[in-house]
């Protein structure tokens, strides 16, 4: 029995020595160094130990912001809009262009918004623009502003969203 135990111990130590020699010879972790006829060769073993294996997780998604804007010419009742622009300045330019193309003369930016929604609320005595995360919230905000000003016939005239876009 002692001879059998001693033989098993020698086999285990020999295997450990092969893996240690393989790593010192430049073999990949888990490979075995085989020496035959004076030539050393790295042979695939069982692969790297579990603690050395790396899990390759995909990179987190990347998002690009999107902008929108509203421009108006109040005396002429013209509303210019833009959505899904790459920058605030691009959104404002597009809204101003839209306002002028619809007959606006004194167009001005009412509100730019980013990665969200906008509501343009009108009443018998004026208007307001509100932005928020959803159309419902932007509309509620606009209606609240309209009603708290004591205006009559408040209603949401225009809504839109410019949501971020996943690019990777």
Does the pLDDT at position 52 exceed 80? no
Angle at 109 between CA 86 and CA 151, to 5 degrees: 125
pLDDT for 6: 39
Contacts 24+ apart (CB under 8 A), 95-100: 95/68, 95/69, 95/70, 95/71, 96/71, 98/71, 99/71, 99/72, 99/73
For 119-165, write each residue's pLDDT tens digit.
999 999 999 999 999 999 999 999 999 999 999 999 999 999 999 99
Cα distances (Å, whole numbers) of residue 114 to 37, 101, 166: 72, 24, 15
* pLDDT score at 168: 79
The answer to whether the beta carbons of residues 158 and 78 sit under 8 Å apart is: no
Decide: pTM greater than 0.85.
Answer: no
Mind listing the pLDDT tens digit for each residue in 80-106? 999 999 999 999 999 999 999 999 999
Q: What are the sequence ranges of the domains in the chain?
A: 2-48, 63-166
Average pLDDT score over the chain: 82
- Tens of pLDDT along 109-118? 999 999 999 9
At residue 59, the pLDDT reads 87
């Amino acid at each position: 029995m002692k001879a059998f135990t001693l033989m098993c111990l020698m086999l285990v130590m020999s295997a450990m020595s092969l893996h240690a020699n393989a790593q010192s010879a430049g073999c990949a972790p888990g490979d075995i160094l085989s020496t035959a006829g004076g030539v050393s060769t790295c042979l695939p073993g069982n692969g790297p130990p579990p603690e050395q294996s790396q899990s390759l997780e995909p990179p987190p998604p990347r998002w690009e912001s999107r902008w929108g804007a509203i421009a108006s010419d109040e005396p002429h009742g013209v509303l210019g809009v833009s959505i899904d622009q790459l920058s605030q300045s691009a959104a404002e330019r597009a809204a101003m262009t839209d306002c002028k193309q619809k007959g606006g003369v004194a167009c001005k930016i009412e509100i730019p918004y980013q990665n969200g929604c906008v509501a343009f609320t009108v009443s018998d005595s004026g208007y307001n623009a509100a932005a928020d995360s959803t159309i419902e919230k932007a509309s509620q905000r606009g209606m609240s502003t309209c009603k708290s000003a004591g205006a009559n016939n408040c209603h949401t005239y225009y809504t839109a969203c410019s949501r971020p876009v996943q690019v990777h």
